[in-house]
Structure 1
Amino acid sequence: MTFPFDITINLSQSRIKEVQNKKITIHNGITTFLGPNGAGKTQLLRGLKVSLNSHLNGKKIRYVSAGRLSPMESYRSDNQGYGNTIQFDNAQFGDKSAVSRRHKNETILGDIATLSERADILIKIQERLRKLFNRDVIIDWDGGMLKVFFARIDSDSSESYSSAREASGLLHLVSILAALYDDEVGCLLIDEPEVSLHPQLQAFLLEEIKKVAGRNNEIGKKLIFISTHSTEFVELSSVQQLASIVFCKDIFENPVQIDPSLGEFQGKKLQALLARLGQEHKLALFCHKPLLVEGPSDQIICSAISRKLSLNTEAAGSQILPVTGKGQFPVVIKLMRLIGKEPSILGDADALTDGLDIISSFTTLSSANNLANELGHRDASKFARDIYNDFCLQISEHWNDISSLCKKHYYWVNRDKEKEEIIAQKRSAFCWLFNTDNEIIKTQPNGESWLTIKNRLSSLLDFLEKLGCFILRKGTIEAYYQHSETLTNDEKPNAASYEVNGLMDEDDIKVKSAYSDIIRPIKFCSSAKEINEAQATRDLLLAIASPALASINKNTSDNELRILSNSLLGDKSNLFKLSCIVEREDIFLNIELLSNILDINGFPIKIKKGANPIEVVNNSLGLK
């Protein structure tokens, strides 16, 4: 066996006609499947179980499922809910007949059967448990049934105890290590190796995986495939390691792998980025539309706004990712696109005013020209370049018109005096334009030309936002603060944290107004719709309200309404209390919500007989 080689994953077991077989390339001993929940990683692993048969070199193939401890749940928990005593001490792992099926068994039963057969594998695991966890593991046949016991070697008492009483993390570790060390296995597929393991233990397990991963025609080596949601099982310090990651989005779409021979990966900037990738960058590998921001302060504010407004950024397939300064935007964007992501950025004003390098990452997209054509421009890059050049020309020729006003801005006051002054002029002028009323701009010398360049810049910013490039119109994220003064660079994270404390106590409407420029990119990257429990409740409510309004009269009792609603919705009717209210000659149906956990405003709802219940309910709940 030589690397790399291609393999077609047989997905016929999915039983969905639209699902096609997938092709991947195996570059080394470890191949890692990454992607969000529901991306099809488990199906791909199971497909490999079929497809790898021709690559076994006479060895076994083993699949270890994410639910590998499931056979033990009847001994570790009250899984029937009867409140009975948990049967810890009755835990057993099968009989003699199960040993012959151990490589086909996808749970811990197969691994314990291996330990009963292979004393050498048992010794390897015992030694690690003793030295790392002060535990010993004992395999025993009791009345024809295989049982496992643990003992603490750091205790005065050497009394053993049932495996069902041991921490689930150690049981998971024993299961995976037994499969790893089994040299009868030539290909090992592990679904979610991180289950129940804390980060340091995950790191230890990865090191053990790396020791045995390789060509399965070598002694003690095996092909290993893992599906994971943990950054601890992702190593990205080189192009070759990146090539061994299979990025999954959906089982109906082809997974993405990079070709390490591509010219883009020979560049020093991209190689340097891979060498220093941290945990935060790795998190972006699990999402589809990462939002790149300039630093920790921006991440703190964006994450807080996402939480405050329940935008569910991470759950919706995004990740707010800080990069080290705006100069890193182009290379990070390139990397993300090469691995199948759709990155967006939230940049300070200088991401545009200092040059076109950053926005060129978006104006050169294939979709950019289509959008530009809709605005009457033939070429997106030329559209951006013409506006930018005219802006620079305006600053060069007419800076004195507005210099006294622009010199009050943060960008000018804190400028780097060793750099060209024109940089500070462009930055501060941009911010002055977008934070000054148009009527005031008109009153300045050459006011009409300044207003024209502002309008053109505004059209460019709107255009860029459709491509995923967001530029802060106030300059920096600190300019949007409502509760914290702008501090020095070293103090920015502290100021951001202080700002978060204030904005979390603010009314949502005020937050949406004050931070609108920041909210737009977060929503752009988040594919989730707003969670609105009122929408989910409305149909139930109307199913009761309409029939009740049709039958209600002055003498209708609460009990009659309760019986009616129960006949319509059964137990779900317990969400509401219906009552009849008579005011002069008018009859009203009053509906109260009987739940302490639903987050819905607008109750009680009072509907006049003869009124349109849909209209009243929608108005009360703030729905369209």
Structure 2
Amino acid sequence: MKVIELKGKNAHLTNMNNINIIMGRNGAGKSRFLRDLEKSNSDNNQLFNISYISPERAGTFRRDGSVLTSISQDPTWLRQTRAFNQAGNFKAASATLFRETEVLYLRRLAATPEIREDSTRNFKTDRLSKVNQLLTNISLEMGRVDFEFRSLSDGQPISPDQISSGESEAVALASEILYFFDTIDTTKMNVLLLDEPDVHLHPDLQARLGKLIIAMLDEFKSHAESIAVCLSTHSCPLVCSLADSRYVSLGTKSFAVDTVELKPASAELRKVAPFFGHPLSLSLSEDAALILEGEDDERVWQQAARTSQGRIRVFPVLAGSVDQLGRLETFCADLLRTLYDNPVAFSLRDGDGLVNQPIEHTPPVKRYRLRCYAIENALLTDPCLALMGATWQGFVAAAIKWGEENPKNHCRDLLKKLAESDDRFRYQKIKEVRTLVCAALECKKPWEVVVGQAIGALTREDLTNSNMLVDFLGTELVSDVIFRNVA
């Protein structure tokens, strides 16, 4: 009975998957969108089992008698208290639901022989361990009467009101997620609406929360047709932790637009996930994505960033081909506009035979083309040769000597033609001889290291003075990418 769309009074979510990620900037109306879906479908209890988790989750993860009474006496109480951005006593309700999860699991254990007969499976391994995988300094344990927190350093009990807000947040969210899965009704469409579950969580913890959701879907995969988790988030770590799952689709919510069309997580998202997945480090270093065609380019720019000692702030993102590079440019442009106020990213293509063909920027992605055939051609510029202790004339002599000493090498003639060329094969493919250039000059460094070090050593003066490496890379590229954050 898989439902592929969910309609509210105004909100409309289409092409639903098991995990549905809704992204958008502050003020785009994501919370209102989810609440509209919940309010419009909760009363249709013949078709839906739907639950909304509000973004501001107050209270302490400790069972409260008044909360338990309210839940027991009024089936709509929990829904009504969470129908707003800020939910009071949220975590006390979560603690109550987690206790109920234990009861539900034990009933399932008693009724399911394949679980009962597996000695590795019990409430502690199947449920409690999933909560504790989110915790670093404490653990949630089964006490004599109720669950209790204990310090991992000395094993001493800790009062629920003494644990950190992030730990409290993680335990409450995990409890809600586990309760949702253990109360699945296979005769209905079960929908969990998570409104900004990343609030108050460290980026690494956000990513682990994503893995918990995937783990629960794996456990309940036989009921996948009746499960949908819909979450709104600003969190790149959370999105990227979910990106590899086959369950995931992604959509963006814009202001005054109430239809969100979901699309399956793409190869582009998986490629760019390492960059978008670490916003804490990026916010500190102000890195920008640099989309590159191949692994050679990636190694060169990684070396350049290291050599520059933080001056070159780029995060290489590997496309793998020209076609994939184009798709990544489009994907990153859309995602960056959704997430950030003043985003910027870069994309660099090989020159190939198109050096003189103009290439336009597609904001916020700035696009460039090398002013030579490929990145290895930069190895023959004066700055790179100087790093290997040579000049062009020195290389010519060394290449001829190397050819004489290695007459049977299949690349000997190409190396000789390179040495005899007038333009250093600037616009020709030299992939077959790039390692021989280093070998002829008795340079022990890989060619990627040489080029990367030369790029990382460029100065602003090189932009105005005659510099062959700047010419091969392109003045605009050097100015925008290498000196982007240099006054």
TM-score by length of 1: 0.44
Say yes or no: does 1:295 pair with 2:298. Answer: yes
Alignment-mate amino acid for residue 274 of structure 2: Q
Give how far 1:2 is off. 1.9
Query: Superposition pairs for residues 51-70 of structure 1, below 5 Å?
Result: 51-53=40-42, 57=46, 60-68=49-57, 70=58
Work out the CA distance in 1 between the residues paired with 2:357 and 2:453.
28
Work out the CA distance in 2 between the residues paired with 1:127 and 1:29.
23
- Tell me the residue number matched to 2:230: 225
Q: 1:347 to 1:63 in 2, by over 3 A?
A: same
Give how far 1:114 is off. 1.9
- Tell me the residue number matched to 1:98: 70
Say yes or no: does 1:108 pair with 2:82. Answer: no
Give how far 1:206 is off. 2.6
Give how far 1:164 is off. 0.7
Query: Superposition pairs for residues 577-616 of structure 1, below 5 Å?
Result: none
Q: Max radius of gyration: which structure?
A: 1
Give how far 1:154 is off. 7.6
Work out the CA distance in 1 between the residues paired with 2:358 and 2:261.
25
Query: Superposition pairs for residues 82-481 of structure 1, below 5 Å?
Result: 94-99=66-71, 100=74, 101-106=77-82, 107-120=90-103, 125-126=127-128, 128=130, 134-136=139-141, 149-152=148-151, 155=154, 160-182=157-179, 183-184=182-183, 186-198=190-202, 201-213=205-217, 218=223, 222-228=227-233, 229-234=235-240, 235-237=242-244, 244-248=249-253, 250-252=254-256, 278-280=273-275, 291-293=290-292, 294-295=297-298, 297-298=300-301, 320-324=314-318, 328-337=321-330, 340=334, 345-347=346-348, 351-352=350-351, 354-356=352-354, 428=424
- SS at the partner of 1:71? coil
Give how far 1:417 is off. 7.0
Give how far 1:331 is off. 0.8
Q: 1:361 to 1:334 in 2, by over 3 A?
A: farther
Alignment-mate amino acid for residue 321 of structure 2: Q
Work out the CA distance in 1 between the residues paired with 2:221 and 2:147.
30
Work out the CA distance in 2 between the residues paired with 1:92 and 1:345.
53
Give how far 1:31 is off. 0.7
The one of 59, 65, 68 equivalent to 1:71 is 59
Unaligned ranges ≥5, structure 1: 12-20, 76-89, 141-146, 314-319, 366-383, 393-405, 432-486, 504-508, 533-624
Alignment-mate amino acid for residue 98 of structure 1: S
Matched-pair identity in %: 16
Question: Would you say the 8 A contact 1:6–1:23 is kept in 2?
Answer: yes
Alignment-mate amino acid for residue 174 of structure 2: L
- Tell me the residue number matched to 2:476: 517
Equivalent pairs counted in the alignment come to 367
Say yes or no: does 1:495 pair with 2:453. Answer: yes
Question: Would you say the 8 A contact 1:111–1:179 is kept in 2?
Answer: yes
- Tell me the residue number matched to 2:437: none
Q: 1:93 to 1:277 in 2, by over 3 A?
A: farther
Question: Would you say the 8 A contact 2:204–2:237 is kept in 1?
Answer: no
* Post-superposition CA distance 1:264-292 (Å, at most 9, x none): x9xxxx86x677665126579x99x9652
Question: Would you say the 8 A contact 1:292–1:329 is kept in 2?
Answer: no
- SS at the partner of 1:102? helix
* Post-superposition CA distance 1:574-610 (Å, at most 9, x none): xxxxxxxxxxxxxxxxxxxxxxxxxxxxxxxxxxxxx
Alignment-mate amino acid for residue 2 of structure 2: T
Give how far 1:110 is off. 2.8
Work out the CA distance in 1 between the residues paired with 2:247 and 2:413.
41
Q: 1:2 to 1:177 in 2, by over 3 A?
A: same
Work out the CA distance in 2 between the residues paired with 1:208 and 1:119.
17
Work out the CA distance in 2 between the residues paired with 1:510 and 1:321.
25
Alignment-mate amino acid for residue 59 of structure 2: P
* Post-superposition CA distance 1:420-478 (Å, at most 9, x none): 969x97985769xxxxxxxxxxxxxxxxxxxxxxxxxxxxxxxxxxxxxxxxxxxxxxx
Question: Would you say the 8 A contact 1:61–1:188 is kept in 2?
Answer: yes
Question: Would you say the 8 A contact 2:306–2:456 is kept in 1?
Answer: no
Give how far 1:199 is off. 5.6
Q: 1:174 to 1:93 in 2, by over 3 A?
A: farther
Work out the CA distance in 2 between the residues paired with 1:254 and 1:356.
43
Q: 1:8 to 1:336 in 2, by over 3 A?
A: farther
Unaligned ranges ≥5, structure 2: 83-89, 106-122, 185-189, 337-343, 363-368, 374-379, 386-391, 400-410, 428-444
More relative contact order, 1 or 2 (CA 8 Å, 6+ apart):
2
Work out the CA distance in 1 between the residues paired with 2:414 and 2:230.
52
Work out the CA distance in 2 between the residues paired with 1:359 and 1:283.
35
Question: Would you say the 8 A contact 1:137–1:149 is kept in 2?
Answer: yes
